[in-house]
Amino acid sequence: MKSDNMRFYSAMLMAGCGLHAAAQTQRPNIVFIITDDHSFQTISAYGSEVSKLAPTPNIDRLANEGARFDDAFVENSLSTPARACLLTGLYSHQNGQRTLGKGIDSTKTFVSELLQDAGYQTGVVGKWHMQCRPKGFDFFRIFEGQGDYYNPLVLSHDSNGKYEREQGYATDIVTEHAVEFLNQRDEQKPFFLLVEHKAPHRTWMPNLKYLGLYDKVEFPLPTTFWDDYATRGTCASQQEMTIARHMQLAYDNKVFEIDNAMRTRMLDRMDRLQKQAWDAYYSPRNRAMLDAHLTDSALTVWKYQRYMHDYLSTIHSVDESVGEIYEYLKNHNLLDNTILVYCSDQGFYMGEHGWFDKRFMYEESLRTPLVVRYPKAIKPGTVDKHLVQNIDFAPTLLDVAGVTKPETMSGRSFLDLFDGKGQDWRQSIYYHYYDYPAEHHVRRHDGVRTDRYKLIHFYGAPMEGDHDTVDYEELYDMQNDPNELNNLYGKKGYEKITKELKKALKDYRKNLKVDEY
């Protein structure tokens, strides 16, 4: 419904016609599910070999009954900036949240406030991870900080400002609170529910009931797993996010036999029975690995397999949660009047280029999964290839609710793509990563991506541990080089596209008033 419909309903209310309650219930509900670090490669609707070995049937169902977006991207591949972007519809430099730490400008209007003002009942559950309290939410149950996988501390709208420990697994707890909100909702109002999972964030701790889920599966190594970065600039080789050198046996791979202090730290949230179940699974497997005295490439492959097994086991719980929420909506006759969105806060490396984590503008980090079920506007089985971005989330939710988007919002409703208004859709996106110096040692960079080409500009003075100021570009042809192994910048025959992309990048910086590059 568009904003003129909303104005009509408001007029009827003011006229005393008694139609307000009926109008509210006809307006679409919104359920927006966002995970932390879920790669598109591990959603089987996207068709990768890995995802076929660890399918996600409930997420796939949303794609099959709605749309799968194949070119959905973020504007800053970090968790907290992505959440700030979702809430504000603004780029990182506009909303203040450029890095993982403090930064959000809480004076900016959140989409939840606009929906609340428009008569929506609003709720958020799970990982908030913002340096401010939830704004515009009638109901919230949020984790402390990043949240713990087991028995996390939770702050609630009715807990008098105190975090309280809740027994159980984080993904299950998020789902339980999502259902709690739905059960307590005012049925005379439409609702907006933001479901924010901790999983599959590092350190990828599975639900105890799914330990060993993929023990019989050997996941294939990505074709770029042994990348030596020789064809790219120095930033690709100076990062600290390789599985071989930077993934930690104790912290990441749970080999606590070599670091008991790490075991105490990592399992401190668990109770006695949970620890027993954990040790019963991991300890014999860890000892077998240590007894094998693995080194070099054999050890790297073992770390990769442990990483994949743990990561994908956490995804299994997330997919299960999506199914529970779907079934709730179906059983309460809410499904067809609800837009149901599933996405991640950014992409993630599943061993591509030998990496884990995100941050870079390279594709596995830049690209985020996005599936949307909304039968009122989207035909089942739609595959969309427009360049959408997470700055578009807030405007889209407002569009669904019939609320006019503030002129200050940078994004645009992607519902325009399904009602004939997408002919003038953007032809490129702008990306900017700021969080340096920081963990994983990825240098600052910005850039533009079109449907085929990508230009990245790395920049910045050296910090401790670096030897040089960086100021260089990389250019990739995503059609002929989807793995981004062949830097074309400065090569003969690419002068025209390089000039066009550099102009587009310059225009973005000028029009968006970017103050750092």
Nearest to 191 by CA among 329, 58, 85: 329
What gap in Å lies between CA 517 and CA 506, rounded to an integer? 10
Q: What angle do CA 328, 333, 339 make, to 5 degrees?
A: 75
Which amino acid appears at position 109 of this protein? T
Furthest-apart CA pair in the chain: how many Å? 80
| pLDDT score for 25 | 52
Contacts of the segment 264-272: beta carbons below 8 A, 24+ positions apart: 266/203, 267/150, 269/148, 269/149, 269/150, 269/151, 269/152, 270/150, 270/151, 271/151, 271/167
pLDDT tens digits, 226-267: 999 999 999 999 999 999 999 999 999 999 999 999 999 999
> Going by C-beta distance under 8 Å and a sequence separation of 6 or more, which residues neighbour residue 296?
none
HEC profile of 134-167: CCCCCEEEEECCCCCCECCEEEECCCCCCEEECC
Question: Count H helices, E strands: the chain?
Answer: 15, 16
- 416 CB-side CA count, 13 A: 18
CA distance 269 to 133: 24
Q: Which pLDDT score, from 0 to 100, does residue 441 have?
A: 94
Residue 23's pLDDT is what? 40
Q: Are strands 453-460 and 445-449 parallel, antiparallel or unpaired?
A: antiparallel
Q: Which residue, 181, 198, 194, 20, is CA-closest to 111?
A: 194
CA 277 to chain centre: 30
CB–CB of 490/476 below 8 Å? no
Rounded to whole angstroms, the Cα distance separating 47 from 333 reads 31
Task: List all residues 6 or more positions away from 439 whose beta carbon is below 8 Å from its beta carbon.
Answer: 240
Q: Say whether pLDDT at 342 is over 70.
A: yes
Amino acid of residue 363? E
* Kind and range of the H or E run holding 448: strand 445-449
Q: Output the pLDDT for position 24.
A: 46
pLDDT band for position 419 (cuts 50, 70, 90): confident
pLDDT of residue 18: 34
Give the CA dihedral 412, 416, 422, 424, nearest 10 degrees: -40
The amino acid at residue 31 is: V
Beta strands in 368-424 (DSSP E): 370-373, 382-384, 388-389
CA dist 66 and 515 (Å) reads 39
Residue 433, number of CB atoms within 10 A of its CB: 28
Sign, CA torsion 385/387/391/394: negative
Q: Give domain limits for the chain.
A: 3-204+308-415, 236-306, 430-511
Confidence of residue 185 (pLDDT cuts 50, 70, 90): very high
Compute how many other C-beta atoms are within 10 angstroms of the C-beta atom of residue 439. Answer: 13
CA 467/CA 464 separation, integer angstroms: 8
What confidence category does residue 464 fall into, taking pLDDT thresholds of 50, 70 and 90?
A: confident
How far apart are the C-alpha atoms of 183 and 196, rounded to whole Å?
18
Structure tokens at 361: 């503008």
Confidence band, pLDDT 50/70/90 cuts, at residue 22:
very low
pLDDT in tens, 198-229: 999 999 999 999 999 999 999 999 999 999 99
CA neighbours within 13 Å on the CB side: how many for 291?
6
Average pLDDT over residues 127-134: 94
Topology of 430-511 in CATH? Arylsulfatase, C-terminal domain (3.30.1120)
- How many residues appear in the chain? 517
Options 3.10.290.10, 3.40.720.10, 3.40.50.300, 3.40.50.150; CATH for 3-204+308-415 is 3.40.720.10
Q: Rounded to 5 degrees, what are φ and ψ at 218?
A: -105, 115
Q: What is the per-residue pLDDT for 26?
A: 86
Q: Do domains 3-204+308-415 and 430-511 have the same CATH topology?
A: no
CB under 8 Å to 213, separation ≥6 — which residues? 206, 309, 312, 313, 316
Residue type at position 303 = K
Q: What are phi and psi of 222, to 5 degrees?
A: -60, 155
CA distances from 124 to 100, 163, 359 (A): 20, 16, 26
369 near 40, Cβ under 8 Å?
Answer: yes
Give the rounded percent of residues in the chain with a pLDDT score beyond 90.
92
